[in-house]
Amino acid sequence: MTRRRLLDRVFDAAGYAAAFFVFAIFVVMLGTTALREFGGKTGGSDDLVSWMTAAAAFFGLAHAFKHGDFVRVGLLIERLGPGMRRVFELLSLGVAATFTGFLAWSITRYVHESWRFGDVAGGLLVIPIWIPQSSLVIGTTLLFIAVLDEFIAVARGRRPSYVTAVEERHARGDFSEDM
């Protein structure tokens, strides 16, 4: 398996994980509603929903980026010629790689400290807080890898996958992501 296919599969798996957490939120909220209707206890469900919301958001970052689902303002870059467009694309991806790399590094340090000091969640579910926080580490690290991958691809002369993904959707007549 090539590096490209492996990365694409990892990013797709992260997207599926994000979808799983969204569905899990639905299940927990539905279960909580049913329990409340029958007088059952629902302690900790708010903790679960908040952790799963963060997991869904962070696991979905790399997948959304690679498929052109991030908000992207192209007013300037779309008016440039191919040479200048590539320069601006590389500059933008360089800034994004720097920022996401720092973000991944900072979050990883923070979660490592939570693990090292034995921090526990402060809600009704008392578990080591590094467990739900690890989704932030995974998500930001995957986003950093995705941005770095795009930077390398553009530096080698390829078109960004987030641009081609949007163009392919438009060619199929799908403009739903543009609203």
What's the pTM value of the predicted model, to 2 decimals? 0.88
Segment 33-45, tens digit of pLDDT: 999 999 888 888 9
Domain boundaries, the chain: 3-178
Q: Which residues contact 101 (CB under 8 A, 6 or more apart)?
A: 144, 148
Backbone angles phi, psi at 128, to 5 degrees: -60, 125
pLDDT for the residue numbered 11: 95
Determine the pLDDT at residue 79.
84
Q: Which residues pair with 139 in a beta bridge?
A: none
| pLDDT band, residue 63 (cuts 50/70/90) | very high
List pLDDT tens digits, range 117-171.
999 998 888 999 999 999 999 999 999 999 999 999 999 988 888 877 777 777 7
pLDDT of 178 over the 70 cut: no
Task: State both tokens at 104.
Answer: 């991944």
**Is 104 within 8 Å of 137 (Cβ atoms)?**
yes
SS3 157: coil
Q: What is the CA radius of gyration of the chain?
A: 20
Each residue's pLDDT tens digit, 72-131: 667 777 788 888 888 999 999 999 999 999 999 999 999 999 999 999 998 888 999 999
